[in-house]
Amino acid sequence: MIETQEISKTYRLGDIKVRALRKVSLKIQDGEMVAIIGPSGSGKSTLLSILGCLDVPSKGVYLIDGKPVEGLNENQLAAIRREKIGFVFQQFNLLPRTTALENVMLPMYYSGVRPKMRLQNAMEALAAVGLSDRARSHPNQLSGGEQQRVAIARALVNKPTILLADEPTGNLDTQRGDEVMRIFQKLNRENGQTVVYVTHDPFIARHTNRIIQLVDGRIVSDELVADPFDAGTPRPDDLMTTHWGTVENDEEDA
């Protein structure tokens, strides 16, 4: 279980003080699947970075499994990232010139898994994302969807408490995006894996039953939705826009 209590994040961009998060409080139970949605600049990526211990809040308390993250040093944060968190990025962030298998094995180098177990764990993780046959391929031989699935296998390999994904479908077409969402749903429904993902696409957000909306660093809604879409459901007409908010808004943000 993870919980934030009125966390705020302020950082400086030159002379400008940016308040990325303002008193955000939320609680995510084990086994939940949560979408965080908001326009660019709403603070959703910052929130995810804090949940993933890649960053620390300026104010407020963040608890993982009841333990506060506050005051931990860099190495202790690294240990939490190793043991409790799996991260999936929009850009995949696979190491080039390194096979899919070795990419998946990477987190185990740092977590001290015995060498004998590494290959087995990595192959299991690749099987979970349906890529057993691509283990020896290099990232440039894989499609975008396959690369993202390798990245998901890498995030899963240390059996994390939570899987965090930052715009996991952002760089993928509809069909590849469906594949990724299908994997998330399967992990959550069959294995009880906690999944938190950030998106700006309301349709992608509707693939789960809990959607948290963020605007200007504040939570504006945190609701449960009935009948989430199963992956592969065609995009309904009322969710044709792939961006949260209007097109004009989006241009302003860019």
In the complex, which residues of this chain contact other proteins (CB under 8 A)? Answer: 49, 52, 54-55, 74-75, 78-79, 81-83, 87, 89, 93, 95, 97-98, 106-107, 109-112, 154, 158
- What residues are paired with 123 via a beta bridge? none
Residues 214, 42: contact at Cβ < 8 Å? yes
**Closer residue to other proteins (CB): 19 or 82:** 82
Q: How many CA atoms lie within 13 A of 21 on its CB side?
A: 27
Least distance to other proteins, CB of residue 238, Å:
33
**Closer residue to other proteins (CB): 40 or 241:** 40
**Closer residue to other proteins (CB): 54 or 231:** 54
Residues 92, 151: contact at Cβ < 8 Å? yes
**Closer residue to other proteins (CB): 55 or 216:** 55
Least distance to other proteins, CB of residue 59, Å:
17
**Closer residue to other proteins (CB): 90 or 199:** 90
- What residues are paired with 86 via a beta bridge? 163
C-alpha separations of 208 from 39, 70, 242 in Å: 19, 30, 17
**Closer residue to other proteins (CB): 98 or 246:** 98
Q: How many CA atoms lie within 13 A of 55 on its CB side?
A: 17
Q: Is the dihedral of CA 176, 223, 32, 34 positive or negative?
A: positive
Least distance to other proteins, CB of residue 248, Å:
26
Picking from 36, 37, 40, 39, the residue whose alpha carbon sits closest to that of residue 51 is 36
Least distance to other proteins, CB of residue 54, Å:
5
CA distance 167 to 171: 8
The single-letter code of the amino acid at 117 is M
- Report the relative pairing of strands 210-215 and 33-37 from DSSP bridges: parallel
Which tokens sit at 67?
């333990």
Least distance to other proteins, CB of residue 84, Å:
10
Least distance to other proteins, CB of residue 231, Å:
26
